[in-house]
Amino acid sequence: FFFAGFTTITGYMVVGMKCAKYLSPKFGEKLYFLYACVAFMTFSWYDQTQVVLMMSASAGCLVMINLMGIIKLRNQIDFSSKK
């Protein structure tokens, strides 16, 4: 279980840092690393059910943001299966 969890955290960290660097080349990577450290230390003190609830709420918010982006860019996205 430890190995599977460690690789997941590493994957999230790498993707998050790349996204943060893309969004803000000057401060993104540093701010994301600071946020990740604070979040990791904070959530280690909470019960697992509370953390899962927070993660589910965050996932729901991310889905809503993605849907807004898809709706906003629907004219620029090609959904056809032809290449």
pLDDT digits over 7-51, tens only? 777 877 888 888 888 888 899 899 989 988 888 888 778 888 888
Q: From residue 14, give the alpha-carbon distance in Å to each of 20, 45, 73.
A: 10, 24, 27
pTM: 0.57
Q: Give the DSSP letter of residue 75.
A: T
What gap in Å lies between CA 33 and CA 44, rounded to an integer? 17
What gap in Å lies between CA 69 and CA 67, rounded to an integer? 5
Say which residues have a Cβ less than 8 Å from residue 19's Cβ, sequence separation at least 6.
28, 32
pLDDT recorded at residue 12 = 79
- Here the tokens at position 26 are 């000057």
